[in-house]
Structure 1
Amino acid sequence: MSDAPARPAQAVDRHMLEALVCPQTGATLSYDPARQELISRAAGLAYPIRNGIPIMLIDEARKLD
């Protein structure tokens, strides 16, 4: 295990996030900075953001409880 400090999450371009919609429903998304996810309440899915890049694939999304 490394003693190196944790890397901060990469900044996400807010203008880009405003342009994205859920690929399943076309609904707007909300940004969860703590989990680095884009949330689609309409679809019940959370799309991950990896290295500052939203992964907008339904197969990669986490189902919300």
Structure 2
Amino acid sequence: MAFDPQRLQDIIACPKTKARLVCDGDFLVSVDPATRLKYPIRDGIPVMLVDEAEEVSPEEWAAIMQRHERNPETGEAVF
């Protein structure tokens, strides 16, 4: 069974900060603006190891947050 980010969105969190994650292509991206970590999804399985995460630039993180209808400064959901 492949990873379905929509089903697990309310359960899965960043292992470092416990912040929510958004699925962006082949990555899960933390909504925490302080860390801006992204975790890879390999062969349909999220790799939730802090050592495997990459920090994205503030500009890339803001663009990802905007794509997911989140505030590009805070990562909070925009309703």
Aligned to 2:3: 12
**Structure 2 vs 1, CA of residues 51 and 18 (structure 1 numbering), >3 Å: closer, same or farther?**
farther
Give the deviation of 1:15 after TM superposition: 0.6
Structure 2 gaps of 5+ residues are: 58-79
Aligned length: 53
| Amino-acid identity (%) | 43
What TM-score results when the alignment is normalised by the length of structure 1? Answer: 0.71
Q: Which has the larger radius of gyration?
A: 1
Aligned to 1:31: 23
Higher relative contact order (CA closer than 8 Å, sequence separation 6+): 1
Give the deviation of 1:56 after TM superposition: 0.4
Structure 1 gaps of 5+ residues are: 1-10
Confirm or deny that 1:41 pairs with 2:35: no
Confirm or deny that 1:53 pairs with 2:54: no
Three-state SS of the structure 2 residue aligned to 1:18 is coil
Give the deviation of 1:19 after TM superposition: 1.7
